[in-house]
Structure 1
């Protein structure tokens, strides 16, 4: 009886750890069921965003409420401990001790490194993804620092969280509109709030729906779309607020001064941008090489595909996601490291969150661009669908029968 209670405590601790550190939500239930088979326990699991329900037998039911985050360093350690438990290299007591130690670890990067990473990701993504200029990059870096500071403030004072997205969007749009004679308005605002864009959440929602997780997928899909509206609404208010102080410019200057940076420099900046995102995911430096390789390959395929299929971005996204998923899963098969880590680092750069905010801006525009906004919104969903299909196909190619003695923690 004591051994059974110990195994149940281990499973609860494992479930919390997977949610805290960002394991793919549509795989958590499958991972927990695999652990139950290892311990020969009768357990059932149901995952909702922010909530996990665990039932052991007919009597013991546990509701676990915890917020999902990202910590690739600790997620890899949890995966390693899970693998050892399944191969009987650890006893349940030893596994529980290791999980508690992982939970008590401090984040690998401190506050200042995280803020610098916000500046790097916002600044470098301006010329790389949103075709901005060097001035766009500089302004986006400064605004990225503001977003980073406000994000830390939200984590400390939860009462501010209900107005965080709208307030930060208003501020970013107001500053970008004031500087529109020097920067590209759309590129700067999307670069500055790139960490807030819900592209990954939307892609995850489609993957959950594809995996028949209807409740979680529907809830996450609706949340992503409403989140786009929040950001777009705040950007629209900030933009219009500046027009109160100054006459609106002519139509050709409405979006600002948009001149792309030189092409060779864009590729030199890419590793710096990828490292900035890796830091925000709390990936350890030893995880960076695999993440950089997958990110570079995914970005290159996405760029080439965008040139050849400019009207079918979902095809380029599907191809990029398939190759990235293939590389990540082969990497896990060879090294037994977690495939989810390098794949996530690459997928973050091709998810379609920016399109959702663009569509909201056009829908709220008074210049008759509502039809363009609807087209952007549809394209955003199509790109997310393409990414989901590409990732599922890559996993099927490498693991056609799944994993028999380990958890399949991948997209």
Structure 2
């Protein structure tokens, strides 16, 4: 009797201790899984490439000792956590639209790096992530609208070789694109026809101003923020990294998106021609006279600032974006002189130099290389893909070979950019890529 009564309190204490340990361990596991889900979703929302996200998440799973697997498709994130002891698994399907916010992406990247290196507690990281996700955008609606106007206007003489009249017309039409984009974000019904309706309106107005501006330069400058060159380049990078599903889906979407834009531009152009007979010969596309060369170097910093605002980059990120984009633009222009008929080579050389600068910047400062690289690639893509390829959609001959050349040109330029970026990463990180 004495033995049993003396052991009961001890056994109860042991059981309570085990229960407390199990509860604490379970709470810790759930907290880390919640952290991984929120971190993964934040990386997608703020614009990190999907093939780099999976590498970062796998590294953090190893750090936390969690059995997790991740799969991405545009707009959908699939996360599965397994338990080898109980032979059970838990799968999360999360719809998450991808956007761009370079300021918050850089802060999330620092959190991911600190977690992998063991410099940050998971609880503190989760609280910091919640604060970042709850913040308001860095720039309000009016600032973004002004950036639409500036970006469309300054890119006309710099990338699309437009005149001063083209720049002013592109600014006005860029404001229209910004307003319709704001309308599409607020009303989901209109978002389904946003691209086509905007392209029709832009092409109709630009064709009406054909006697004063260059039609093709103005319409492409006005809708430059809608061109899916970056999405196509990302799809090539995903396919090269063996992410077959997400790369194939993104590539197909990019090609169909280009057809949407070309369809709208063709309708708007032909709609004005139905009201007024088009002039013969070269005047069909308007008066195309490039602006004087020295002004391009003055306008480029303004274009870089407008691009930084479009990407929601913080002011401290503006200098590195401007430097890398200036170098990329200069290399692209110089390479275009030596390889005028092989744009994919010029794109590959420019992307390699930009990627080299971006990765060296990351290695020295431990900041995110994707921020300056993205700003530079966005300026390489329109000049190579927007002008030379989209013009084939506007051609009225209807030649099937031109449609084939359009698709091939887009893929080749995107492939050149992807190869250049991968080669630059291999040079700077020959053994192991950075975490995120």
**When the two structures are superposed, what TM-score results if normalisation uses the length of structure 2?**
0.91
Corresponding residue to 1:17 among 42, 51, 55 = 42
Give the Cα–Cα distance (whole angstroms) in 1 for the partners of residues 292 and 393 of structure 2. Answer: 32
Matching of residue 26 in structure 1 with residue 51 in structure 2: yes
Q: Is the contact made by 2:202 and 2:219 (CA closer than 8 Å) also made in structure 1?
A: yes
Corresponding residue to 2:307 among 274, 277, 280 = 277
Q: Is the contact made by 1:45 and 1:53 (CA closer than 8 Å) also made in structure 2?
A: yes
**CA RMSD between the two structures:** 1.4
Corresponding residue to 1:174 among 204, 212, 224 = 204
Structure 2 equivalent of residue 50 of structure 1: 75
Structure 2 spans left out of the alignment, 5+ residues:
1-25, 83-87
CA positional deviation for 1:362: 3.1
Give the Cα–Cα distance (whole angstroms) in 2 for the partners of residues 354 and 228 of structure 1. Answer: 14
Deviation string 1:93-124 (CA, Å, 9 cap, x unpaired) is 11000000000111111111100100111000
Deviation string 1:301-358 (CA, Å, 9 cap, x unpaired) is 0000001110111111101100100100000100011111011010110115873676
Q: Is the contact made by 1:19 and 1:69 (CA closer than 8 Å) also made in structure 2?
A: yes
Q: Is the contact made by 2:265 and 2:394 (CA closer than 8 Å) also made in structure 1?
A: no
CA positional deviation for 1:373: 4.2
Show the 5 A alignment for 1:103-142. Answer: 103-142=133-172
Deviation string 1:247-303 (CA, Å, 9 cap, x unpaired) is 121122111010000001012111111111110100001001111110000000000
| Runs of 4+ off more than 2 Å | 352-377
Q: Is the contact made by 2:151 and 2:306 (CA closer than 8 Å) also made in structure 1?
A: yes
Give the Cα–Cα distance (whole angstroms) in 2 for the partners of residues 140 and 377 of structure 1. Answer: 26
CA positional deviation for 1:88: 2.0
Structure 2 equivalent of residue 39 of structure 1: 64
Structure 2 equivalent of residue 80 of structure 1: 110
Show the 5 A alignment for 1:183-194. Answer: 183-194=213-224
Structure 1 spans left out of the alignment, 5+ residues:
none
Corresponding residue to 1:329 among 359, 384, 403 = 359
Matching of residue 319 in structure 1 with residue 319 in structure 2: no
Give the Cα–Cα distance (whole angstroms) in 2 for the partners of residues 354 and 319 of structure 1. Answer: 13
The structure number with the bigger radius of gyration is 2
Deviation string 1:104-150 (CA, Å, 9 cap, x unpaired) is 11111111110010011100000011100000000000100110111
**When the two structures are superposed, what TM-score results if normalisation uses the length of structure 1?**
0.96
State the number of aligned residues: 406
Q: Is the contact made by 2:343 and 2:384 (CA closer than 8 Å) also made in structure 1?
A: no
Q: Is the contact made by 2:220 and 2:386 (CA closer than 8 Å) also made in structure 1?
A: no
CA positional deviation for 1:383: 0.9
Structure 2 equivalent of residue 377 of structure 1: 407
Show the 5 A alignment for 1:62-73. Answer: 62-73=92-103
Classify the secondary structure of the residue corresponding to 2:312: coil
